[in-house]
Amino acid sequence: MTSPAIELQKTIFAALSTDAALAEAMGGVRIFDHAPANVAFPYISFGHTSVYDWSTSTESGTEHLFTLHVWSKAKGKAEALKIMELARTRLHDTMLEMPGHALVNLRAEFEETRFDDDLSVYRGILRFRAVIEPAA
């Protein structure tokens, strides 16, 4: 069985990659684990991931906190906010299929948008919480 963190990222990537409205807002499917050099804006990248074991004596499972980063060079926050809303809508409270694992829940917990002076880009941060159990 593969790691639930790996399967979760693959599942999130697939869900976002197949969302037509999100692809349209970004001018194509631009979702990366690590963005390549000279990537076209806007795009989404995977950020920080934390995994916590919440197993009991009778059940096993993990809690995953992960972030998605939205990068935009548009003038103003509107583009970043629109992409964030589309990504949140696609993932929040959805029951996605994960090979070898059962996604118990997936919830958006936090959002922030700010201008990064060093990079001259807007960066949106979305944090999600997922609870995963082994497949029955």
Please report, in tens digits, the pLDDT of each residue of the chain (136 residues total). Answer: 589 999 999 999 999 999 999 999 999 999 999 999 999 999 999 999 999 998 888 888 999 999 999 999 999 999 999 999 999 999 999 999 998 999 999 999 999 999 999 989 999 999 999 999 998 7
Looking up tokens 């795009």, which residue turns up? 43
The per-residue pLDDT for 54 is 86
Task: Report the alpha-carbon distance of residue 39 to residue 3 in Å, rounded.
Answer: 29
Q: Give the pTM.
A: 0.93
The per-residue pLDDT for 1 is 58
Q: Which amino acid is present at 65?
A: L
Structural domains of the chain ordered from first start: 4-134 (3.30.2000.30)
Task: Report the alpha-carbon distance of residue 112 to residue 100 in Å, rounded.
Answer: 33
Q: Is the dihedral of CA 76, 81, 83, 84 positive or negative?
A: positive
* Burial class of residue 27 in the structure, from the number of CB atoms within 10 Å of its CB (0-12 exposed, 13-18 middle, 19+ buried): exposed
